[in-house]
Structure 1
Amino acid sequence: MNTRNIGRSFEELVSALFEFNGFHVSQHSPTRPSAGRADLVLIFRGKIKTVVEVRVSRSRTANMHDLQRTAASVLVAKTEEGADHALIVTNLPLRNVPLSDALPKGVDLMGLEDLLQMAASDAILMGKLLDLDRELVSALKDFDGPTTDATSDRISLATFKELSSEPVAPQSAAPIKKGAEIAKDLLSIPAGRKKNATTASGKSGEPWQLFETFCQAALEHAFEGVFSNWQRQKSVGGDANRFDILAKVVGDDVFCRTLIEDFRTRYVLFEFKNYSEQLKPNVIHVTEKYLYPTALRATAIIISPHGFAPDSVRATHGALRDVGKLILDMNRDVLAELATERDTGTNPGVRMEAMLDTFLQQVGR
C-alpha cells in the first residue's frame, strides 16, 4: 500500500466498521473555516451525534502532545457540529497510550483492540483490519525499540454505544493556532535578494533572515517530539561557509528509525535557501560537504520556496549512491502545511516517510 494513502484507507475502514455496528456514518463537512477538525460524523439511534477524528500512527507509542492537540481540535468540531460526543480513533494498541485518561473530559479514545472487537463477527472486515495493521507496523519490525506494557483506560464498543445513548454537557476547548500563524508569516516572505520585507504579522527585516527565523519556528513546532536539541548558525570554516540548523533525531516512528538505522543519522542538517528560482546543483554539492556519516550526520533537508531543479535532484541521487549522503528537498509550502497540520495533532512522520519513499524510488543507476 502506498504510504501516502494509508491514512485514507484507515479512515475508510473505520467508517465501514462503525456502519457494520449500527451507526450511520457521514463525512464531516464544516460549514465555515475553523481550527476544529473531524473526519466522520456518527449518528446512533437516529439522534445522538458524535464527531470522530481518525489518527494513523507509524510509531509504536503515542505522542501525547499530538493527542491533546487532536482532542482540543475535535472538541471545537464537536461544538461547531452541535454534536453530543467527540471521539479519537487510532490504530495504536491502547496499552501503548498509558496517559489516555489525561485527555480532556468529553473526548473518548478507541484503539486497535476496540477495532478488532468491532470486526470480530465479520471475516472480511477483520481481514482488512489485520492487513492494514500489518502494513502499518511492518516497517517497524526490523527495529529494536520496546513497547510499553502500561495499561490505560479504554472505551469498548459496548461502552461507547451506552455513552452514545445520551448527550453529555458541552465542553469548551481553545484551538491551537500557533502553526497556522507561523505558516502565514513564512508564506508572506518574498523570495530573492530584496533588502527589506514585512511578514503577515508585521515583523520586518531582510527576507533571508526572516526566512530562517520562520523556517526554524515552523520546524520546531511541526517536528516537536521528532527532532530536538536545535542548534543554530554554527560556523564551518568561517562565516562564509555555514549551515543553518542541526537537530537530533528523537522520534520512534518509521521515518526516524529509518534515518537512525539505515542512514546512520542521529543529527539532521537543515538549510534555508530563500532563492527566487529553483536550487542549482552547486547548492547540493556545498551541502554534501557538511555531511559526515562517521559523525552520525548523514542527512540534510533543504528548505526553499521553489525546490530543486531537475539537475539538482540528479545530484542528490549521486550523493546517496556514491557516498551514502541523503539530501531531501522540502518546499516551503510543504513546511507551512506540516506546521499548520500539527495544530490539530497531525504528526509529520507519515508525510516524511512518503517523501523519503518517493526519493528512494527515483534513485537511478
Structure 2
Amino acid sequence: MVEQRNLSSLAFRLERFTFDLFKLQGFEVALPESDRAWGHDLMVDTGRALAVVEVKLYSSSTPASRNIIVALDYLERSRIANGAAFGILVTNSRLAPSQRSRLESFPALRVYDIDILAGLAQGHPSLAAELEEISRSALVFRGEDLPIAEPVDPAKTLAELMEGDLPELAEPEELPVAPPPEPPKRGADLCADIHGVGKSVAKPFEEACEAAVRWLFEDELIAFDDQHESHTGHNIFDLVARIASKEDFWQALISDFRARYIVFEFKNYSKPIRQREIYTTEKYLYPIAMRGAAIIVSRHGADAGADAAMRGALRESGKLILSLSVKELCSMLHARDAGSDHLATLVSKLDDMLMGLER
C-alpha cells in the first residue's frame, strides 16, 4: 500500500504556512479547543472579530467544485457553532469564477486561494518561497505553471477582517451547545455497503464497488458502462467510463497515458490479487484506442508479484494499471464526504510508480 507521505506532509506544511501568515498580520492564532473542534484547523482573533479557518490541500490546480461546496458547508457550520464572525477556507488551488459564486450563499465566508495567499505573503520572502514550494510539490501532474493572476492587494484583502461592517452574529445565548448536525455521508454508506458483502462473493461485490466508483467520480467521468463487451466479445469489462474532467490527474491520464477511457475491475478475493489478475486486465487495455489505463479494486489490494506486473505493463507497453484495496477506496469515499482531495490516493500511487520505475 502506498502511503500518502508527501501529500500528508504538504497538507501539514500548508497549515503551518497559514498559521505563520496570520501571525505576521498581527493576529492571534491558535488551534481550536478540543471541545470546539467542529470542522476547522485554526482560530484567528483579529482583535475585532473571530474567524475559523479550514485549510485544504488539493492535488489539482482547480479543485473539484463539489469538494469546495462540501468544504464551505462544513466551514459554515463550524463558524456558527463557534460564534465566529468569519470563516476562511484556505487552499493551494485556484478557484474558478463559478466556484467563487458559491460564496454568495455564505456571506460570512471567504476563500483565500493561491492568488490571495501569494498576495498576503508579499514582503515575506521566506513565506513566499514556502508557498511556492508547497504549490509546485502538491500539483504533481500539473503540465505547466499556473497562469499569472492579477496582483492581489493584501491590505484590501485583510480590511474586511479589521474594518467595515461585521456579518450579523447570533446572541451568545442563541449559540448551539453542540455542533450542528452533519449532512448524510454518502461515502460512508457506500463503504459500509462494500464491507457488508461476504468474502469471495463476486456479483454483489462488483455492484457495491460500482456504486461507489460512480458516486466518487460522478463529476469527472461520464458514459459509465458496466459489463461492456469488446467488439469480438472476447473481453468483458466490469466497468468502463470516459474521462470528462479538467483536473490535473485526469488530464495526465489522457495526455501521458492515452487514456481517454478508463477500465475498472472489481475482485472480491480472500487474498491480495496476484500477477494473473494484472495480466488479464492488461489485455483489456489498448492505448491506440485511448483506453490505456485501468484501476483494479480488490478487498486486500495487490501482492508483490502483482505490483511487479503493474510496473512491467507500464514499462514494456505503456499501459497503466493501479490497484486499490477496499480500505483505500473507503479512504477516498470519506475524503469526498469531507470535501477533501479524494484523488490524493491515486495521485500518490501514480507518482510513486513513476518515481520508482526501472528500465
Alignment TM-score > 0.5, same fold: yes
Residues 76 and 241 of structure 1: CA distance in aligned 2, closer, same or farther (over 3 Å): same
Cα drift, residue 173 of structure 1: 8.1
1:100 aligns with 2:100: yes
Residues 166 and 243 of structure 1: CA distance in aligned 2, closer, same or farther (over 3 Å): closer
User: Which of 129, 132, 139 does residue 131 from structure 2 map onto?
Assistant: 129
Matches within 5 A, 1:1-365: 2-28=6-32, 31=35, 37-45=39-47, 48-94=49-95, 96-103=96-103, 104-105=105-106, 106-137=108-139, 139-142=141-144, 156-162=157-163, 168-169=169-170, 175-192=183-200, 207-236=201-230, 242-365=236-359
Q: CA offsets per residue over residues 111-146 of structure 1, 9 Å max, x none? A: 223222322232221222233334445742449x99
Aligned partner letter, 2:183: P
- Distance in 2 (CA, whole Å) between partners of 1:344 and 1:324 is 34
Q: CA offsets per residue over residues 49-86 of structure 1, 9 Å max, x none? A: 32212122333434322211111112223344443332
Residues 127 and 350 of structure 1: CA distance in aligned 2, closer, same or farther (over 3 Å): same
Residues 303 and 147 of structure 1: CA distance in aligned 2, closer, same or farther (over 3 Å): farther
On the 8 A contact 1:254/1:349 being kept in 2, the answer is: no
Residues 93 and 275 of structure 1: CA distance in aligned 2, closer, same or farther (over 3 Å): closer
Q: SS at 2:194's partner residue?
A: helix
Equivalenced residues, count: 342
Q: SS at 1:38's partner residue?
A: coil
Q: CA offsets per residue over residues 284-328 of structure 1, 9 Å max, x none? A: 111111111111011110001111111111111111111111111
Residues 334 and 98 of structure 1: CA distance in aligned 2, closer, same or farther (over 3 Å): same
Cα drift, residue 183 of structure 1: 1.5
Gaps in structure 1 of 5+ consecutive residues: 150-154, 193-206
Cα drift, residue 237 of structure 1: 8.0
- Distance in 2 (CA, whole Å) between partners of 1:31 and 1:271 is 43
Q: SS at 1:25's partner residue?
A: strand
Aligned partner letter, 2:102: A
Aligned partner letter, 1:312: A
More helix by share: 2
Residues 72 and 274 of structure 1: CA distance in aligned 2, closer, same or farther (over 3 Å): same
Cα drift, residue 108 of structure 1: 1.8
On the 8 A contact 2:62/2:93 being kept in 1, the answer is: yes
Residues 302 and 127 of structure 1: CA distance in aligned 2, closer, same or farther (over 3 Å): same
Alpha-carbon RMSD: 3.2
Aligned partner letter, 1:68: I
- Distance in 2 (CA, whole Å) between partners of 1:268 and 1:300 is 5
Cα drift, residue 246 of structure 1: 0.6
Q: SS at 1:243's partner residue?
A: strand
Cα drift, residue 260 of structure 1: 0.9
Gaps in structure 2 of 5+ consecutive residues: 151-155
Q: SS at 1:57's partner residue?
A: coil
Q: SS at 1:364's partner residue?
A: coil
Partner of 1:201: none
Percent identity over the alignment is 29
Residues 49 and 217 of structure 1: CA distance in aligned 2, closer, same or farther (over 3 Å): farther
Q: SS at 1:59's partner residue?
A: coil
Cα drift, residue 349 of structure 1: 2.9
Cα drift, residue 147 of structure 1: 10
